[in-house]
Structure 1
Amino acid sequence: MGADELVELATQTAYAGTDGFMVGGSTDLSLEKVDSAVDAIKEITHLPVILFPTHASSVSGRADAIFFMSLLNSESRQFLVGEQIASARWVQQTGLEPLSMAYLVIAPGMAAGRVGQAQPLPRDDSDLVVSHALAGQYLGMKYIYLEAGSGALEPVPDAIISAVKNATEVTLIVGGGIRTPLAASKAVAAGADIIVTGTLVETSDRLKEDISLLIKSIHS
Structure 2
Amino acid sequence: MKVEERLRRIISLHGAAHLTLIDPEKQSPEEAGKMAWEADAAGTDGIMVGGSTRAGGKRLDDTVISIKENTDLPVILFPANETGISAHADAIFFMSMLNSRDTYYITGAQRLGAPVVKKLGLEPISMAYLVVEPGGAVGRVGKAELIPRDDKELAVAYALAAQFFGMRLVYLEAGSGADRPVPVEMIRAVRKATDVILIVGGGIKTPEAAAERVRAGADIIVTGTLVEQSVDRHARIKEIVTAIKAARTKKAKG
When normalised by structure 1's length, the TM-score is 0.98
Counterpart of 2:158?
A: 132
Name structure 2 gaps, 5 residues minimum.
1-26, 247-254
Contact kept? 2:30, 2:63, Cα under 8 Å: no
AA at the equivalent of 1:188: V
CA contact (8 A) 2:34 2:70 kept: no
Of structures 1 and 2, the one with the larger relative CO (CA 8 A, separation 6+) is 2
Q: 3-state DSSP class of the match of 2:41?
A: helix
Residue in 2 aligned with 1:199?
Answer: 225
Which residue in the other structure is 1:36 paired with?
A: 62
TM-superposed CA distance for 1:205, in Å, is 2.0
Deviations 1:157-184 (A, max 9, x none): 0000000001000100000000110010
Aligned length: 220
Alpha-carbon distance in structure 1 between the residues aligned to 2:159 and 2:87: 29
Q: Aligned with 2:83: secondary structure?
A: helix
Q: Deviations over 1:145-202 (max 9, x none)?
A: 0000001001100000000001000100000000110010001001000000012112
Answer yes or no: is 1:119 the counterpart of 2:145. Answer: yes
Q: Tell whether the 8 Å contact from 1:26 to 1:115 is kept in structure 2 after alignment.
A: no
Could you report, residue by residue, the CA deviation over 1:97-155 in whole angstroms, capped at 9, with x for unpaired residues? 10000000000000110111111100000001100110111000000000000010011
Q: 1:204, 1:121 → 2: CA distance?
A: 29
Structure 1 contact 28–55 (Cα < 8 Å) conserved: no
Q: CA RMSD in A?
A: 0.9
Report the equivalent of 1:56: 82
Q: Confirm or deny that 1:25 pairs with 2:42.
A: no
* Greater displacement, 155-164 / 53-62: 53-62
Q: Quote the residue 2:5 is aligned against.
A: none
Give CA deviations for 1:31-83 in whole Å, capped at 9, x if unaligned: 21111111011001110000000111221111100000000000001000000
Ranges of 4+ aligned residues in structure 1 off by more than 6 Å? none
Task: Report SS of the residue matched to 2:236.
Answer: helix
For residue 170 of structure 2, give the secondary structure of its aligned residue in structure 1: strand
Determine if contact 2:28/2:63 at 8 Å carries over to the other structure. no
CA distance in 1 between counterparts of 2:187 and 2:229 reads: 24
Conserved? CA contact 1:175–1:195, under 8 Å: yes
- Aligned equivalents of 1:141 and 1:4: distance in 2? 34
Judge conservation of contact 2:77–2:84 (CA < 8 Å) in 1.
no
**TM-score, normalisation: structure 2:** 0.85
Tell me, yes or no, if structure 1 residue 15 matches structure 2 residue 41.
Answer: yes
Q: Secondary structure at the match of 1:57?
A: coil
CA distance in 2, matches of 1:162, 1:197: 20
- Please state if 1:218 is matched with 2:233: no
The letter of the residue matching 2:49 is V
Residue 13 of structure 1, CA deviation = 0.6
Q: Does 1:45 align with 2:74?
A: no
Give the corresponding residue for 1:154.
Answer: 180
- Residue 141 of structure 1 corresponds to 167
Q: Of 234, 237, 241, which aligns to 1:208?
A: 234
- Shift of residue 26 of structure 1? 3.5
Distance in 1 between residues matched to 2:60 and 2:178, nearest whole Å = 24
Mean Cα displacement is larger for which, 131-140 or 28-37? 28-37
% identity of equivalent residues:
53
For residue 137 of structure 1, what is the amino acid of its counterpart?
Answer: Q
2: distance between equivalents of 1:209 and 1:10?
13
Give the counterpart letter for 2:80 in structure 1: T
AA partner of residue 213 (structure 1): E
Q: Give, in angstroms, the shift of residue 10 of structure 1.
A: 1.1
